[in-house]
């Protein structure tokens, strides 16, 4: 016995939109619009709920991160005390932070002077 072919398309008794009169077509369109509005409302409510959950999660996460890195407070360092002084011009000093200054490199070039030779003696 051969298998029956599956029916495709509209169920028996339903009319195709192109064979309906204007009144029936208007009712069909209204039913479809209300069905679509209902489905869109359900989806919107679902996604807004998910979004509110995520925003609450994200704001809690963000506040934890901000607290961890200490954002919002600007910390200022006090000025570093100088550790090195130029031999040629005693007014020029360097704290020892960052790149070696040009004046120190120039004074060390061609001599046996080291960085330690420019240290300021503690009183």
pLDDT in tens, 15-45: 666 677 888 888 888 999 999 999 999 999 9
DSSP assignment letter at 90: T
Handedness of CA 67, 71, 76, 82 (dihedral sign): positive
Tokens of 112: 């046996």
Question: What is the reported pTM?
Answer: 0.39
Q: What is the chain's mean pLDDT, rounded?
A: 82
Query: Is 80 exceeded by the pLDDT of residue 97?
Result: yes
Residue 1 has pLDDT above 60, yes or no: no
User: Which one is predicted more confidently, 117 or 122?
Assistant: 117
* 71 compared with 3, residue with greater pLDDT: 3
Q: What is the pLDDT of residue 20?
A: 74
By CB atoms closer than 10 A (0-12, 13-18, 19+), residue 39 is exposed
Give pLDDT tens digits for 73-96: 667 888 889 999 999 999 999 999
Residues 6+ apart with CB under 8 A from 113: 87, 107
Q: Cα–Cα distance between 37 and 35 in angstroms, integer?
A: 6
Helix (H) or strand (E) holding 47: helix 22-69
Residue 84 confidence (pLDDT): 94
DSSP type of residue 97: -
């Amino acid at each position: 016995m051969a298998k029956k072919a599956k029916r495709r398309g509209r169920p028996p008794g339903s009319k195709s939109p192109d064979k309906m009169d204007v009144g029936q077509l208007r009712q069909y369109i209204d039913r479809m619009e209300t069905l679509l509005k209902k489905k869109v409302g359900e989806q919107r409510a679902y996604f807004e709920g998910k979004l509110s959950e995520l925003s609450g999660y994200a704001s809690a996460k963000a506040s934890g991160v901000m607290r961890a890195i200490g954002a919002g407070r600007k910390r200022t360092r006090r000025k570093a005390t100088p550790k090195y002084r130029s031999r040629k011009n005693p007014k020029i000093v360097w704290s020892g932070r960052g790149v070696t200054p040009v004046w120190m490199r120039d004074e060390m070039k061609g001599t046996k002077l080291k960085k330690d030779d420019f240290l300021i003696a503690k009183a």
